[in-house]
Chain A
Amino acid sequence: MDAMEQLSTTEPEDDADTPDAANGDRIRAVVHKVAFQMAPVIFGLLLLTVWEILVRINHVPPYILPGPLLIAETLYKDFGTLFPSLLITFRITVVAFAMAAIGGLLLGMLFASSRWIERSLFPYAVVLQVTPIVAIAPLIIIWAKDTQLALLICAWLVAFFPVVSNTAVGLNSTDRNLIQLFHLYGAGKFQTMWLLKLPAAMPYYLAGLRIAGGLALIGAVVAEFVAGTGGTQSGLAYRILEAGYRLQIPRMFAALVLISLTGVLIFAALSLLSRLILRKWHESAAGGH
């Protein structure tokens, strides 16, 4: 790891004094590095180009498969309708995620604090997790008075399990010798939890959060599909349904792009958070910057 860091810190900078040969090597290294960074972008552009060409050559009608350019155009044109819906979906996702992050942490701590509680509750947490949300969503929509609340519950249900189980695993995998050391120095339960078990569980918890972020978005979208509500409070899922009914396939794709981008954004933000918290000590984050 250290060697890698050194490599990246001695990255070529334009230095007039160096001989031409070395300069050439440095330039080649820069090109190589940039190309490596850009590889996924280049591949994506290539794919979009092929897609556009195929659609045009074969005269595929837009209601079967629109080309990327048309989708981009639709995204721009319909932004006024799509963006408010995105905000609604995003809001549900964020609130559900926050509840999962806090509730999952607390329940994980509860599980780790007592074998009895874990043994009694964990199987039911698993049951909730493995039951497809699409199957439970109708019930929740019936029970909850407000559709937004129902969507929130669905998104939370999906997001919450990975946080609980990761937190419990992390708390239970604390170094036994360190626990004994804390005991030896007369640490109280609170001190052991706050100074030892929580930091030790942090990498696991953050990994759980990264999974939960994506799942919260999926939960919010799936639940809205099931609910199928319209009106002023409709999210992106409803926009997709609506566009489907009206055969506005380019709009469907535009909404899809927005959902995907949101998912990527959530994942990137949580990865960044994880890296910032762990970079000083954990191998998963201590490599490149």
Chain B
Amino acid sequence: MNTIEATPPESASDTGSSAGTPPRSLISIKSVSKVYPNGTEAVRKVSLDVPGRPQFISLLGPSGCGKSTLLRMISGLERHTGGEIDWPTTPYDSKGRPLAEIGFVFQEPTLMPWASVFDNVYLPLRLKKHKKAAVHDQVMDALRMVGLEKFADSYPRELSGGMKMRVSIARALATRPKVLLMDEPFAALDEITRLKLNNDLLSLWEKQRLTVIFVTHSVFESAYLSDRIVVMAARPGRVIADIGIDAPYPRTEAYRTSSAYNEYCKEVSGLLKQAMAGVEDEH
């Protein structure tokens, strides 16, 4: 169990000179801050290194700790107001945006109700001007990954909540991304569906070897899924701990009842308590 305290925020002058060091990380987040126009500081000087080898990283913290904001800044949905988010191994387009294939899964399934399951999953490819016939197999592959290949012609309203979430994950996988960003994807589901999807997500992650950044407020979920947990505290949002979960994959229900899992849950709970305590101190 190696508890690494968050790397101290580097000064602004450091951030530009990273060219000399061999950039083997996939995403390098340095001293990133987010201040909203109304003055609210959502994230303060967060530094995080996402390595090139596939990791399952959970961003864990109480509500208001900026974990979703951080995820959205990584995806490019929101802009950071300070620091730097760099993709050292990814080419950039002319507007300075990384040409990274990112899959994003929202808390809600966020499907188009008027489109079939197939067309929903095809959407990211369609927006990139791929012809339907040309990527038919790719879309079906994504559906197969989540076990919904038989439902390609169904419409979202015919599916259960868990199945809709699977479609959402399949859509995120359709472009064969290197990074899958998930913003509390299972928070709105019932416990049984959630446990099932946790297992499915894990086996998918092991097969696809992609990096997952997973926002959650559940200690148990993060300790079960991740090989790395980044604990964040609120007001202002900051990283207070970055720990590795060294239990081997594949993880199954046996891991859920193991003492190692219990220990990790205890440790992470303690860190989360610290994160919450900081908030109460300020009041």
Binding site for B on A (CB under 8 A): 2, 175, 177-178, 180-187, 191, 195-196, 199-200, 202, 280-283, 286
Contacts and interface: CB of A to CB of B under 8 A. Distances in A.
Contacts, number: 51
Contact of A281 (B102, B110, B123, B156): B156
Contact of B127 (A2, A186, A200, A202): A186
B75 A185 contact: no
B188 interface: no
A281 B157 contact: yes
B123 A185 contact: yes
Instruction: State the majority secondary structure of interface residues on A.
Output: helix
Nearest to B76: A184
A178 B77 contact: no
A181 to B, nearest CB: 6
B128 interface: yes
B114 A202 contact: yes
Contact of A184 (B102, B114, B158): B102
24 contacts: A175-B110, A177-B106, A177-B108, A178-B110, A178-B112, A180-B106, A181-B110, A184-B77, A185-B123, A185-B124, A185-B127, A185-B128, A187-B127, A195-B123, A195-B126, A196-B112, A199-B115, A200-B114, A202-B114, A280-B114, A281-B113, A281-B156, A281-B157, A282-B113
Closest 7 CB pairs of A and B: A177-B110, A185-B127, A199-B114, A281-B113, A281-B114, A187-B127, A185-B124
Contacts of A175: 110
Contacts of B76: 184
A68 B110 CA distance: 56
Interface string B120-147: 0001101110000000000000000000
Interface of B: 75-77, 102, 104, 106, 108, 110, 112-115, 123-124, 126-128, 155-158, 175
Given A184-B76, A184-B77, A184-B102, A199 B112 contact: yes
Contacts of B108: 177
B213 to A, nearest CB: 14
Nearest to A283: B157
Nearest to B171: A181
Contacts of B127: 182, 185-187, 191, 195
A184 B104 contact: yes
B110 A184 contact: no
B113 A186 contact: no
Nearest to B157: A281
A196 to B, nearest CB: 7
Nearest to A187: B127
B22 to A, nearest CB: 30
Contacts of B114: 199-200, 202, 280-282
A195 B120 CA distance: 11
A2 B155 CA distance: 13
A184 B113 CA distance: 19
A273 to B, nearest CB: 16
Contacts of A177: 106, 108, 110
